[in-house]
Amino acid sequence: MIISSVVYAFDPKNSPVGKAKSGDTLVFETMDCFSNEISREDQLITTFDYNRANPAAGPIFVDGAEPGDVLVAEIKAIDLKAQGVVTTLPEVGPLCDIMQVRTKVLKVADGHTEFNGLKLPVKPMVGVIGVAPAQDPVPCGFPGAHGGNLDCKLMGVGARAYFPVRAPGALFQLGDLHAVMGDGELCGTGLEIAGKVTVTLTLIKKTPLDWPILETADQWHAMASSLDFGEALKAATRQLCALVSKAYGWDATDTFFYFSLWGDLAANQACQPCPVPMVLRVSIPKRADKPLIRA
C-alpha cells in the first residue's frame, strides 16, 4: 500500500485513508515541508502560506490500537527525490538578527549533496512522525507527546520509534523528510526534500508511555518538547528514568546517577527564537539484556 494523501495536522477527527494490521509494512509518499512549492532560489519563504507547512501522508488506522497501547514505527527505507531546498526563516534561529532571508537549492546524487563547494554525505531522516493526540488537533509543524515535528536526525533507516496511542486506531502519519540536518536545526530548516518512506507498524498492547521513545542501533532516546528548555529537559529525563528504573530494577536516584555518568543530552530542534517548541532528547546506551520496552 502506498499512502500519499495529505493532512496538515495530527487530529483524532482526521478520516483515515487506509487500514493496517500490526506487522504490516507500508510506503508513505511525502511532499517536502513547503508542500513542494519552493523549488528555485528566487523563491523566498516570505511568499509561503504556513498553513501548508509540513504536510504528512496519512493517517493510517491500525486495527486494535487503543489508548494505553504503544505503536512502533520501524523505518525500513527512505528514498529521496533528486533536489531539496534549505531556507532561512524570518525571526527564527539564534542568528536571525544578522541573517538574510535566502533560499538555496541543493542537488542529491550518489549519496551526497554539495553546499558551497563542500561535498556532504546524505543522511536521510523523517522530521514529522507520530499518532493522533487525544483531543485537540496539533499542526504538523509542532511537536508534542504524540510525536509530530520531532525533527530528530536519528529518525532514519533502522530506527524504531515508539508512540503512545491516544486515539482509537492510533492514526499514524509522517512527512517532512530531510536529506541532511544537524542537531538543533539552527536556521529552522534542514535540506527539505520530498520522497518515500517504507515503515513497518507494530502494536504493543497495554504499555504506558508519556512521550515518544526512539531506539537506534546502540542507544535508547526519550524525546520531549516545550518552549521552555527546563521543562523539555525534565519531561524527557523523567520519561527515560521511568523506563530505566523498571528495566534495571533501580530507584530514581541510582538511575539519575547513571544518566550523569553514561547518558547524553542533545537538541533535535532548537532554532530559538521560534514559535515552535524546542525538542530535546536524553539518551543512554542499549543493553541486550535490558530492553526498555518489550514487544
Q: Distance between CA atoms of 272 and 249, rounded to whole angstroms?
A: 38
Q: Please, which residues bridge with residue 119 across strands?
A: 114
Query: CA-CA distance, 221 to 218, in Å (whole number)?
Result: 10
User: Residues 29, 195, 170, CA angle at the centre, nearest 5°?
Assistant: 40
Over the stretch 220-233, which tens digit does the pLDDT of each residue have? 999 999 999 999 99
pLDDT at 55: 97
Of the pLDDT bands very low, low, confident and very high (cuts 50, 70, 90), residue 1 is confident
Structural Rg of the chain based on CA atoms? 18
The tens digit of pLDDT for each residue in 183-207 reads 999 999 999 999 999 999 999 999 9
Give the pLDDT of residue 294: 87
Q: Provide the CATH number for the domain formed by 2-207 in this structure.
A: 2.60.120.580
Phi/psi for 164 (5° steps) reads -70, 125
Q: What is the pLDDT of residue 295?
A: 77
Which residues on neighbouring strands pair with residue 103, listed in sequence order? 87
Reported as a pLDDT band with limits 50, 70 and 90, residue 239 is very high
- Quote the percentage of the chain above a pLDDT of 90: 97
| pLDDT above 80: residue 51 | yes
Grid look-up 529521496 returns: 80
pLDDT in tens, 80-132: 999 999 999 999 999 999 999 999 999 999 999 999 999 999 999 999 999 99
The amino acid at residue 200 is: T
